[in-house]
Amino acid sequence: MKHIKEHEVEVEQLPPPYAREIRHLIAPWTVGARRLWAGVVIIGQGSSSNPHVHDDAEEIWYVIGGTGRVKVGGEEEEIAPGSCILVPPKTVHQLLNTGQIELKVLAVTSPPPTLAGFKEVHTPK
């Protein structure tokens, strides 16, 4: 059994203009997962993730706390705790914190990226 405790996982700080924190909970490089990646994304007030695409992976987002907006393809909607969003492969997507507190989201992708692939997609050039 692999038992991961969020508070024990190292925080990866991504830089502005898309500043956010990511904790890689389940990944090939953390616990040897072969078919998925799961992580917690925390976006501060007024910030967002960078718009990006996963060529081969599906992704789901489950909002744990805070409020904001989600953009998937040409669609945009409000999100709040309990919202669950499916992002198909090859679709531009982005999380935006429009609320008054941090936006906390559980993200899961399958198949998982490599660590280098994750950094390439999530760090704007």
pLDDT in tens, 54-80: 999 999 999 999 999 999 999 999 999
- Torsion of the alpha carbons at 47, 27, 29 and 8, rounded to the nearest 10: 70
Over 90: is that where the pLDDT of 125 sits?
A: no
Over 90: is that where the pLDDT of 100 sits?
A: yes
pLDDT in tens, 8-51: 999 999 999 999 999 999 999 999 999 999 999 999 999 999 99
Domains of the chain, by residue range, sit at 11-113
User: 21, exposed or middle or buried, with CB in 10 Å at 0-12, 13-18, 19+?
Assistant: middle
For the domain made up of 11-113, give the CATH fold.
Jelly Rolls (2.60.120)
